[in-house]
Structure 1
């Protein structure tokens, strides 16, 4: 199992937990839990692999990714009522999953010999699109678009960090850990301290 496979599996499980927690807030049935968990966990990596023409897509090559997502869904179905603040748990689980998914995307793109720009974009896609699909399907305002939070920004910073370090450091563990750390630090800072980008404010034209 390659580093990309391990990172994909880690992000799949944690993203599936966050997806299943959203399903619990929507009071879905067990099938709904499994569907939302799999969509969240597999969506970003699927889009990445299709764009990179990686054949087969990672969860077809390694079906245990689906089992990991379903296991996470079943776990949350059983324990979600015991969580005092499911929304808070969703946001922190999402931050952990974002960090691992971003570097999984970076690793996959780097393995196929892509340029730093494409490596950066694939990291962002892998990290952000599963959660985006989850929120759209569950009729929530997408987390990636809420109030200027460091979400896509965190994914971008982590992807850029890994992509640039990969140019000068041969050890993939170092540049992938660095990218994950930057992503989590920015996303965690946004959750703890309210870091956010300035929102656009429309000003009426002067008379």
Structure 2
């Protein structure tokens, strides 16, 4: 495998060099670092055959784009959060890599899955409120399925809400969902009732 091929496959997987390094180390029980990934991609160091095979295998089983499911309705209490959680659970049980994004200021999905851990998530600044209001990097607001604050209550990754202005949340909801989807095969988003229905909501 050539460096340009590795870069193309990594971009197809929507992974950063650091994320690819972590996946390779987990799959191959190695201790590669990010500079080595860079050297491989720039052709300054030959790519081991096992790395080429591992990346090709990852790419062959990974959709080119995440399928994004947005649960939105102008009315509250119609089951958006319940449907989003159940969709995330069902897709994860089928083997999909799922990210659940809570974009509702009421943070019902967050509290349902994290219980008391939702307060600690806010204290750590790892919520969509901090992402939207304080420019916190999106990547820092992701809770992996094995995160202690989830307490084993979810078989998928998630991004908690914790309240902010419904108007601010609505304005950022769909753009945030698209940006969240990199690296997952499915992305389910529970939105606030005030998310504008005047604009079309797309799914890919």
Q: What TM bracket, shorter-length normalisation?
A: under 0.3
Taking structure 2 as the reference length, the TM-score comes to 0.25
Taking structure 1 as the reference length, the TM-score comes to 0.25
Report which of the two structures shows the higher radius of gyration computed on alpha carbons: 2
Larger strand fraction of residues? 2
Larger helix fraction of residues? 1
Of structures 1 and 2, the one with the larger relative CO (CA 8 A, separation 6+) is: 2
